[in-house]
Amino acid sequence: MAASKVDDRTVTAKPHDSNGQPVTHTLRRLVVPVYLPWLAVGLGTAMLLPVLPVYLRELDLTVGTVSLILAATGVGAVIAGLPLGGALQRFGERTLLVAAIVVSALSAALLGTTELIVFLLILRFVAGVGSMGVRLAQQTLVARTVEGDVRGRAMSVMGGTVRLAFFVGPVVGGVSSDQLGPEATFVASGAVTALGLLPLLAAKTGSSQRSRTNTSTSPRPPGVLESLRGHWKRLITVGVGPALVTAVRQGRLIVIPLIANDLGLSGTEIGLVVAIGTGADLLLFPMSGWLMDRFGRLYATVPAFGLIGIGLLLLGVLDSTLGVIIAGAVIGIGNGMSAGTMMTIGSDVAPAGVRAPFLAGLGSMQDLGRIIGPLVVGWSADAAGLHVSAVALAVVMFIAIAWLVFVVGETRDLDPT
């Protein structure tokens, strides 16, 4: 891919898209098909953050084994990416989204039914398949229906919706675990995830369902691999950066609760520690879309990811509850400033004719990070301690920043043909 370099132009973030529609109109029409299901799935997932790593540790598993189980989510997402891209081409966004939400809900609800490592691995693998399906359906819908000059803001609202979920969910999950037990919390997580089906079932299917291409009067669409022919270099070049970023984001979701647990905090207290970080995250997500649309994608990603790296370094050297809170807040600020950045960059570079398979392939590459992140935490923690694993994640983030700047470059004005 010939990466464009950032120029000196400043483009004002306009209140209308290129078709003359107000940006608020564009965002409002995405509420039911995109933002509400996204919020429900995010809440269900976030409820597990302070509960699942600690629950697995209480089964007398090592940090390495816990990380391996959590990494299975990434394995499921990576393996499912391209097949789900084919399913999306054939059945459309809405059908894929409904199926993915059902799978995600069941995989969470069943976590407390066994202590067998193999079964836990399978459930997290299936959860990864579901999460990939949800993200791919939603990202493709936004990329297909939203103009490029407001896409950054539309994607940042998706990122902000997740951040709202990750602010509320850990507190709810932590309190639920203390009061009802982790098993009941897993069931509650599945039930909350399933609520994402309600806006889809209530809405008219025509607003979010793309027309199928495999009808009796239309030729069968090409396969995913055939569609990607000629785009592999671009896919791999762009995909490395998001994979590294995802590794860090996934790793910090493990290392923060485990360090807090080692400090003797309860489930409720761990949930509050996580929520403090996501609260800072939540306050800043609108800045991401504004920066991306006005100045360029790198003006949001570089400072945001730099703050995440600094926060992880602080987490590695501050050995106290206050230190964890401060580090979590710095990480949260950086994560908030990066809301929707990876989805926006992916949508910028996706060729218009093969958008769904390209985003599926990019999603699979990105979700390699969901495998790498937990493994980095597990291996480094078993070898040298949890604080060292935080430093290792910081190093990975700084490598990601360098890749995005010097290899990928600016993508806002890229012509994805």
Domain residue spans of the chain? 26-200+229-408
Burial tier of 97 (Cβ tally within 10 Å: 0-12, 13-18, 19+)? buried
The CATH T-level fold of domain 26-200+229-408 is Growth Hormone; Chain: A; (1.20.1250)
Give the pLDDT of residue 330. Answer: 93
**pLDDT tens track for 277-286:** 777 777 777 7
User: Which pLDDT value is given to residue 347?
Assistant: 80
**What pLDDT is recorded for position 359?**
80
Q: Which residues contact 409 (CB under 8 A, 6 or more apart)?
A: 3, 4, 5, 6, 298
Q: What is the pLDDT of residue 1?
A: 46
Q: What per-residue confidence (pLDDT) applies to 13? A: 46
Tokens, residue 290: 């504004």
DSSP state of 22: B
Q: What pLDDT is recorded for position 213?
A: 40
Predicted pLDDT of residue 131: 93
Dist. CA 311–CA 308, nearest whole Å = 5
Contact partners, residue 273, CB within 8 Å, separation at least 6? 256, 257, 260, 265, 321, 324, 325, 328
pLDDT at residue 342 in the model:
85
Q: How many Cβ atoms sit within 10 Å of the Cβ of residue 24?
A: 11
**Positions of the chain with pLDDT under 50:** 1-14, 16-18, 205-217
DSSP assigned state of 16: B
pTM of the model: 0.72
According to the model, what pLDDT value does residue 415 have? 58
CA distances from 33 to 23, 145, 202 (A): 17, 12, 10
pLDDT of the residue at 17: 47
